[in-house]
Every structure is written in C-alpha cells, then in structure tokens.
Amino acid sequence: MLQFEKMAAKLTPQQEEQLMALLPQLKDVKSIILRGYCNKKDIGNAKDSALARAVNVEKFLVSQGVPDHKMSLRYNTDDAEHAVELEIGG
C-alpha cells in the first residue's frame, strides 16, 4: 500500500523506491490490480483523484518494463485512505 498526502496524486521518490523493490516480483505475476483510494469525505472529486493515483503508479511501472496488459485499475472512495494498493495475482 503506497500512502499519499490528501491532495497528492504524483509519486514521491520514496514511493518510487518502494515500487522498485517490488519490481522483480511484479514482472513475474499474471495480473496486478492497482486500486486507488481517496476518501470522498475529504475531497470532492474523490473518484478522479483515486484513479489519478492508480494511473500514475501504472505509468511508472510501465516505464520500468511491467507490461500494461497485466494491470487493471480500480478505485475506492469509501474508505478513509489516500493510497494505492497493489493486489498481485498469479
């Protein structure tokens, strides 16, 4: 789970480091669900913010060689989170 500041969608260098540590594992799996979180009680356009976070993680992973066909995007605006969760399958 990559935590984000409430108003942030861009990856920080620390988040990029976390993803780089997972990279060998991510390249070998069959599927990755990137679930963006943004609490709708905190932000008016929570769905857009949640998806923007997931998209930014996806773009970073693609730039590091993870095939985009392995990844699918989801969002959650009900939980009190500002994050992106990676669900790894296979």
Pairing assessment for the beta strands 71-76 and 2-3 based on DSSP bridges: unpaired
Quick check: 84 and 4 in contact, CB under 8 A? yes
Alpha-carbon torsion (42, 58, 72, 83), positive or negative: negative
Domain count, the chain: 1
- Residue 8 confidence (pLDDT): 96
Those residues of the chain that have pLDDT short of 50 are: none
- Residue 2 confidence (pLDDT): 97
CATH number at residue 85: 3.30.1330.60
Write out the residue range of the structural domain in which residue 11 sits: 2-89
- Residue 29 confidence (pLDDT): 94
Write out pLDDT tens, residues 54-80: 999 999 999 999 999 999 999 999 999
Q: What is the pTM of this model?
A: 0.95
- Residue 75 confidence (pLDDT): 98
